[in-house]
A = this chain, B = another copy of it.
Amino acid sequence: MEYPSKLIEDAVNEIAKLPGIGKKTALRMALHLLRANEERTQLLADSLVNLRTKTQYCTHCHNIADAPVCAICSSSKRDKQTVCVVENTTDLIAIENTSQFNGLYHVLGGVISPLEGVSPHDLNIDSLINRVKDLSLDIKEIILALSATMEGDTTSFFITKKLRDYPVKITTIARGVPIGSELEYTDEITLGRSILGRKAYEH
């Protein structure tokens, strides 16, 4: 595509590096900024730079934080005996939005993936072990909330093995037929697992 201005071209190329954004969408965004108030662009640019340069990571759970300890880890209302292990902050936010979990988190920063060159050492697994080891923290349960993929399962297996010798209960989130979906459209593996993982009917 030919652009009428080098400045537009630069902006489009930079915007199009964001995930899920193609050149056409990037151009629409660039032209939108050109039409809007100059202040808007400045605010956007500043917020991005601030995000990248000022964000900290919680020293306990590795969640993104505004302080050395994140709001969840420092809250007195959370159940500190239960730790939910997640892949990244997006998953943490997704679980927080369910309002069904009141414990702490541990953000791994990824999952073990030999194909992408991610080994256990690249993840925050050692610090998880250290949290469990530290008896003053009194962690009773580790919930593994990783994706239902080969990589997620491998990571869950690895963590379970590492934690075998500690007096902590290890659970994983339930796998099964998603709420609202019809049986005939559910894939075989999910359906199979949901039969194997059947639960007593609550009545």
> A residues within 8 Å of B by Cβ?
1-8, 10-11, 13-15, 17-21, 25, 27-34, 38, 40-55, 63-66, 70-72, 88-90, 92-93, 96-97
Copies in the complex: 2
Q: A5-B65, A7-B66, A20-B25 are in contact. Are A42 and B49 (CB under 8 A)?
A: yes
A43 CA / B66 CA spacing, docked (Å) = 24
> Within the complex, which residue of B4, B17, B93 is in contact with A65, where a contact is CB–CB below 8 Å?
B4
On chain B, the residues within 8 Å of A6 by CB distance are 66
Q: Which residues of B contact A48 (CB under 8 A)?
A: 11, 14-15, 30, 33, 41, 44-45
* Contact present for A27 and B72 (CB under 8 Å): no
Whether A32 contacts B55 by the Cβ 8 Å rule is no
Please measure, in the bound complex, the distance between the C-alpha atom of A50 and the C-alpha atom of B14, giving whole angstroms.
12
B17, A40: Cβ atoms closer than 8 Å = yes
Alpha-carbon separation in the docked complex, A11 to B54 (Å): 12
